[in-house]
Amino acid sequence: MAEIIQSLPLEDVIGDRFGRYSKYIIQERALPDVRDGLKPVQRRILYAMYSSGNTYEKNFRKSAKTVGDVIGQFHPHGDTSVYDAMVRLSQDWKLRHVLVEMHGNNGSIDNDPPAAMRYTEAKLSLLSDQLLRDINKETVDFVPNYDDTEMEPMVLPARFPNLLVNGSTGISAGYATDIPPHNLAEVISATLKYIDNPDITVNQLMKNIKGPDFPTGGIIQGIEGIKKAYETGKGKIIIRSKTEMETLRNGRSQIIVTEIPYEVNKSNLVKKIDELRADKKVEGIVEVRDETDRSGLRMAIELKKDVNANAILNFLYKNTDLQVAYNFNMVAISDGRPKLMGIKPMIDSYLNHQIEVVTRRTQHDLSHAEARMHIVEGLIKTLSILDEVIAIIRNSKNKSDAKNNLVSEFDFTKEQAEAIVMLQLYRLTNTDIVALQDEHKDLETLIAKLKHILDDHEALLDVIKNELNDIKAQFKSPRRSVIEAEIAEIKIDKEVIVPSETVMMSVTHEGYIKRTSLRSFNASGKEEIGIKDKDTVLTVQEVNTQDTALVFTNKGRYLLIAVHKLPDIKWKDLGKHVSQIVPIDEDEAIVQAFVVSNFTDDEAIVTATRQGMIKKSLLSGFKSSRTSKPLVAAKVKAGDEIISVMKVNAKNDLQLITLLTHKGMSLTYPLSELPETGLRAAGVKAINLKEADTVVLADTVDDEDTILIATQRGALKRVRATLLQSAKRAQRGMTLLKELKKNPHRVVAAKVCRPEHQTFILRSNNEQYEGSIEDIHLSEQYTNGSFIVDITTFGEIKHLEINMLFKN
């Protein structure tokens, strides 16, 4: 054999070879044919069982024998793959109507493996006989098998729409298919409607086919998804387990699951629910039991007393396979090519296949009837000249000579002559001629009927309809899956996910955050909080684990952190930096933190910037499902930053907001001056700033409050809030500091003192000064206050803190 070496580019070779391989696995392995709904291996298994007589009315036969027949005659692949395909055809939780009956362990819904093929026995089911019926009447094309020693069918006659009834799933090169099973009676009813009216709409077809009908039952949600899939071949539905509630003697209740979604592994589902319970991802479950027995599937989820069973069920729908999404991807081989098909093209392809099958069967029956009639006519003629025929045969030399003599003497055809010489003597009775005449009449009627079917297309369609109705009557069964029009929204109650617990949350100016149990907090002493050197506490709050923390930064962004997800750290230990929970920029600083139980329209967030912008946004707008990244709270211009964030009562328009600037200007006005804006807005002008002036303080004030002001010269001044006259927004405001020509006082820090506050702390980088708020006497409007610290020794004032932690 001559050796031929070709020099070709690698990409051409790989492209060509992979193209051939792809064509093979698309057409010959992974995708079903639209006509009989079978993949090649399934078709070969059914045909091998049929041709070897392993049919429904016979005894069961060892599966190994069938697998051997399939491998040896039609499908030269591994025995395991063939046996697995055969087992799947027998699993009533995978197929709506099984095509193979099996004795022995054929696996389970828990994905247990079947017994070895040497132990199990199988035969064709009664319904699969309808797939193979009339295959010996030349109804379908046959092709040589892999070694040209046998002939195998390219497709089965498939007397019912098996692709829709049993569905299919598979993955090939560049294509995948997911066709759900349907109810046989509904599919046949829709097919009959289509035969009567090929222009029928999908909506009209859906009056017959309600939707998929899974062998495992369940609840299907989303009629729009079904309709879209039936129109285009692609669509999405939700499959939900069927559940019921039971009350136990001890007062507890339990959720009973009786049906689970299609192709969900039950044992994995039970394991997942139990893991959620053990990991305390869900509160209220005592135990999960698999109580499935021969009477049917049953899972019991026992609950604690007085828990919301529906809330737990919703959590399980969301986080386990008690509810799954099913995506239609109805791809099948049509005319030798993979094609995405809606329900009408599927039924149309099946109907065209049936027209061909019935036509070919009718032609086959007609030719056989005409051939038999020809023989019967010869036999009747023979009986009328019986003596002469016998004489001719007796005088002939042999069988061949007798046939030739009959043809030449009496004008018999060769076929008739063959039948005459093979005639048995007992047939030459008077009664037999009556039987022949009756058979002749029956054949005349049959031939006329068959010719009418071939000549009249409507008659042919009637044959298809009658046979489909017969199959429907014999094999129909009630729907197992319930269909609901809308996809139910799953609302998860926080109490189910997180146990309600009161904890302490602390946030520092440098961004360290933690939650601490009340036990650790009380044991450590309230002042012994663990913080870094030179860091200071921004806020400490008593919160609930079911709350949500809103942490605002100077860049106008906010972080949403569930309190239960905060690191649980002892009170004396350093917290975790917020950037390790939600990533923020290196130069981004924490401004304020609040804790929210409910995001409502009753409260609002007010933000103020150093350059004099302010905005108010309803708290409800801050709710988001995205918690992994910072979210926009306010649009901040370049060179500006957020200096204050307030949580206010959105309904109280009389609430006063006061602003204080670096040069000692103060402006106070009611909340009604602020319009409600979205989160991405920049807001409105808060105060009309002088040149080179900036906002130092923005906060809410009441009549009982006072304002403590620290200047760069180390002076402190305290004024009553009642001195601040209410004005309009965006004005210049009033002066709180007396202007000096030489070395004027400038505000570097300021705080609003509430009636309950008692102490203040001034901090520089290296020093700290602590005093009583009452020791700072209330000043008049135009004084500069009293000198508290010597700046030359104390250093630049960095922070003014009021009522540090819980000091009394």
| Closest-CA residue to 195 (of 442, 458, 515) | 458
Edge-first strand order for the sheet with 734-735 is 695-701, 656-661, 665-670, 734-735
* Distance of alpha carbon 504 from alpha carbon 547, whole angstroms: 12
394 C-beta neighbours (distance < 10 Å), count: 8
Q: Which one of the listed residues 21, 119, 146, 782 is annotated catalytic?
A: 119
Instruction: Judge contact between 322 and 501, C-beta under 8 A.
Output: no
Q: Is 669 a catalytic residue?
A: no
Sign of the torsion angle spanned by Cα atoms 483, 484, 485, 487: negative
Residue 104, sorted as left (phi over 0), alpha (psi -120 to 50) or beta, turns out to be: left
Locus of tokens 């298919």: 177
- The amino acid sitting at 370 is E
Angle, helices 63-73/40-51, rounded to nearest 10 degrees: 110
- Alpha helices by DSSP H, 320-429: 343-384, 386-394, 399-410, 414-421
Q: Residue 48 is which amino acid? A: A
Torsion angles phi and psi, residue 171, rounded to 5: -130, 130
Phi, psi of 700 (to 5 degrees): -85, 150
Residue 403, beta-bridge partner list: none
SS3 category, 191: helix
- If one counts every other C-beta atom within 10 angstroms of the C-beta of residue 416, the result is 22
Q: Give 282's DSSP letter.
A: S
The C-alpha atoms of residue 305 and residue 3 are separated, in whole angstroms, by 82
d(CA 644, CA 641): 9
Instruction: Give backbone dihedrals phi and psi of 703, rounded to 5 degrees, phi first.
Output: -60, -30
Distance CA(92)–CA(100), nearest Å, equals: 10
The token pair at 338 is: 């993979």
> What is the β-pairing status of strands 482-484 and 337-340?
unpaired
Query: Are 245 and 460 spatial neighbours (Cβ–Cβ below 8 Å)?
Result: no
Cα dihedral sign for 449, 455, 461, 467?
positive
What secondary structure does DSSP assign to 463-502, as a single string? HHHHHHHHHHHHH-----SEEESSPPPP---HHHHS---E
Tell me which residues are annotated as active site: 119
